[in-house]
Amino acid sequence: MKGYSLRQLSNINGYRNPNSLAKALHQPYPLGISASDIWPSRYGADGKPNGKRGQKALIPASAKPSRLRLVRNPQDGSAE
């Protein structure tokens, strides 16, 4: 559904409230099970979040060079 907003997806799928999908992502839902039981790799032994973020997405091979940011080498001024 790339290119659709959560509001549009809610409407397309027939939800009465256009914010239904957004609420599902941002509000906790009581499942009777802790998040550390569902995602043990995200939590330490003490039950606190690890604070790690996922890997950044790789730049696709089809990306246009104009969209890529060049990093300049401060020593010689060349772009990498």
Could you give the CA distance from residue 68 to residue 61 in angstroms, rounded to a whole number? 11
Amino acid code (one letter) for 25 = L
Mean pLDDT of all residues in the chain? 76
Provide the b/e sequence for 33-50 (b: ≥16 CB within 10 Å): eeebeeeeeebeeeeeee
What pLDDT shows up at residue 77? 55
pTM, entire model: 0.37
Average pLDDT over residues 3-26: 88
35 to 26, 30, 42, 54, 70: CA distances (angstroms): 14, 10, 9, 17, 40
